[in-house]
């Protein structure tokens, strides 16, 4: 039975404050909707119980993605398209970017929001296991103020949450502390895309000296809520990955899940797949870390540890043009391996002042050009040329558009546009540049700093392989 539009009321107050005021006046009476991807399915089937709807789509307060030194904040109104296209998310939180690509088709990704996915509270939602392993917090707002809730505690039962009737989710907060972790995501469904998961996994792992130092595993569609496998993680920590551990992990994972039979699958199948997915993740973790371990103490790093302070600073300045950054990294010697070097680099970079960031920015040429504001080391110039290879081969129209956008950027922010160009086409870079022209000064400063951090990480890896 289809719904009758005359049975429903919809309002669009237009600001976050007006919306929470409305929710406070009639708690539980109004259903906030953003993209409406789930609401419209219920409406079309005549099964939408709410009769009073309040539109929260495209509110500026809910569409921001902001990076600070310790965390990234994602507005609850950000769409899956926002997530899969955003450089910060793709680089530091690849599990979330992958889940965004899995969710529905392009039309759904353009409308569906991360906040809607959380509040809808489906245990089969693709993005929720990623939030569990990244240990997300939620910022909930109402006329009473705001409160910060660990996401792991937010779902209290099937389709039940801690959200009060007068509250909205404003932000999803992700801590920035997973550099060096191996990430793994897998979705098992009737199809690879546009299908609800039978089981999905999001996992992070870190090996040190052949032992599991840290591991985080979450599954969807195996319980009434998205599930973090705490007991399985406990079994794994501090042990080497061998056949005995894989067997123990499979048993632990199978015992932690409690799936159901439904139209998509059976409980028995889901339990078996859950064990298989955990073993698959551990096998990948072991193989990737073994590949890194063969290079951990490269000849370059071993020699660099023995250099004088000044020579060691000069040796890595081509990776990042901030002398304060180079001094901070050098001060942490001896550095044992690639993971420790990247961690030292990231921690040092985030601790610097904006003036130190600006020094690094000035070591880059504008995209599409060859000369920087200051004279960087020759190796830095060579790497910039490699990184911008696709821009150099772009057609004249795109190059002209880039030059014009570069001029606009310099006029607006009074500095060079910095972007991690590796692997990006000229058209992709142009799109990023045009988007970032809309940033305010503070947001753009941190976005440029994040891009510099990505560039530095790539160059450090190249430097170690010389």
pLDDT of residue 380: 76
CA angle 225–228–231, rounded 5-degree value: 125
Q: Are strands 227-228 and 155-157 parallel, antiparallel or unpaired?
A: unpaired
pLDDT of residue 74: 97
pLDDT of residue 50: 82
Residue (of 82, 39, 37, 75) closest to 59 by Cα position: 75
Output phi, psi for 462, to 5 deg. Answer: -65, -40
> How many other CB atoms sit within 10 Å of the CB of residue 417?
25
Give the torsion through C-alpha atoms of 357, 358, 361, 366, to 10 deg: 150
| CATH topology agreement for domains 5-55 and 299-464 | no
The enclosing H or E element of 319 equals none
Domain ranges in the chain are 5-55, 62-175, 182-291, 299-464
pLDDT of residue 137: 97
User: Is 5-55 a domain of CATH 3.90.1580?
Assistant: no
Please, are residues 215 and 240 in contact by the beta-carbon 8 Å criterion? Answer: no
Entry pTM: 0.73
pLDDT of residue 191: 55
CATH of 182-291 given 3.40.50.1980, 3.30.390.50, 3.40.640.10, 3.90.10.10: 3.30.390.50
Distance of CA 182 to the CA centre of its chain: 14
pLDDT of residue 77: 97
Residue (of 18, 15, 13, 20) closest to 146 by Cα position: 20
pLDDT of residue 294: 54
pLDDT along the chain (466 residues), means of 10: 77 94 94 86 79 92 89 96 90 93 87 95 93 98 97 95 97 92 88 71 90 95 95 95 93 93 85 94 85 61 92 94 96 89 93 94 75 63 77 83 92 92 83 92 92 92 80
Q: For domain 299-464, give the CATH number.
A: 1.10.3330.10
CA distance readout (Å), 155 to 215, 271, 284, 313: 22, 21, 30, 49
Distance CA 261, CA 277 (A): 19
Please, are residues 202 and 95 in contact by the beta-carbon 8 Å criterion? Answer: yes
Please, are residues 166 and 25 in contact by the beta-carbon 8 Å criterion? Answer: no
User: Is 62-175 a domain of CATH 3.20.20.70?
Assistant: no
Please, are residues 110 and 138 in contact by the beta-carbon 8 Å criterion? Answer: no
pLDDT of residue 425: 82
CA distance readout (Å), 315 to 46, 48, 329, 384: 67, 64, 11, 17
Please, are residues 364 and 418 in contact by the beta-carbon 8 Å criterion? Answer: yes
Q: Are strands 211-220 and 197-208 parallel, antiparallel or unpaired?
A: antiparallel
């Amino acid at each position: 039975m289809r719904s009758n539009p005359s049975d429903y009321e919809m309002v669009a107050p237009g600001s976050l404050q007006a919306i929470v005021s409305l929710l406070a006046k009639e708690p539980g009476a109004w259903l906030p909707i953003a993209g409406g991807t789930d609401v419209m399915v219920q409406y079309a089937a005549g099964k939408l119980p709410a009769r009073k709807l309040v539109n929260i789509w495209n509110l500026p307060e809910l569409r921001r993605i902001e990076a600070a030194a310790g965390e990234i904040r994602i507005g609850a109104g950000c769409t899956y398209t926002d997530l899969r296209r955003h450089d910060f998310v793709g680089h530091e939180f690849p599990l979330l970017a992958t889940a965004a690509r899995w969710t529905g088709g392009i039309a759904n990704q353009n409308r569906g929001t991360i906040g809607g996915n959380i509040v809808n509270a489906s245990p089969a939602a693709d993005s929720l296991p990623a939030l569990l392993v990244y240990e997300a917090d939620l910022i909930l707002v109402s006329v009473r103020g705001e409160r910060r809730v660990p996401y792991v505690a937010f779902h209290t039962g099937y389709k039940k949450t801690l959200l009060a009737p007068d509250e909205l989710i404003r932000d999803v907060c992700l801590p920035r502390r997973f550099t060096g972790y191996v990430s793994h995501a897998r979705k098992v469904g009737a199809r690879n895309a546009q299908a609800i998961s039978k089981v999905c996994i999001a996992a992070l792992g870190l090996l040190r000296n052949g032992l599991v130092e840290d591991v985080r595993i979450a599954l969807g569609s195996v319980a009434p809520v998205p599930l973090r496998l705490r007991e399985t993680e406990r079994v794994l920590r501090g042990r080497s990955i061998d056949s005995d551990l894989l067997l123990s992990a499979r048993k632990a994972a199978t015992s932690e899940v409690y799936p159901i039979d439904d139209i998509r699958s059976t409980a028995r199948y889901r339990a078996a797949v859950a064990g298989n997915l955990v073993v698959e993740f551990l096998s990948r973790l072991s193989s990737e870390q073994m590949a890194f371990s063969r290079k951990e103490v490269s000849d370059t790093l071993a020699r660099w540890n023995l250099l004088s302070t000044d020579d060691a600073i000069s040796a890595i300045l081509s990776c990042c043009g901030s002398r304060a950054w180079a001094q901070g990294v050098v001060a942490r010697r001896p550095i044992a391996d690639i993971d420790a070097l990247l961690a030292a680099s990231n921690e040092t970079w985030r601790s610097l002042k904006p003036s130190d960031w600006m020094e690094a920015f000035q070591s880059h040429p504008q995209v599409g050009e060859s000369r920087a504001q200051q004279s960087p080391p020759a190796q830095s110039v060579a790497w910039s040329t490699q990184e911008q290879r696709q821009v150099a081969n772009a057609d004249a129209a795109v190059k002209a558009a880039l030059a014009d956008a570069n001029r606009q950027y310099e006029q607006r922010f009074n500095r060079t546009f910095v972007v991690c160009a590796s692997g990006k086409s000229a058209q992709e870079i142009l799109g990023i540049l045009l988007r970032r022209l809309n940033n305010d000064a503070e947001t753009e400063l941190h976005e440029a700093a994040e891009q510099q951090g990505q560039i530095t990480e790539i160059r450090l890896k190249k430097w170690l392989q010389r």
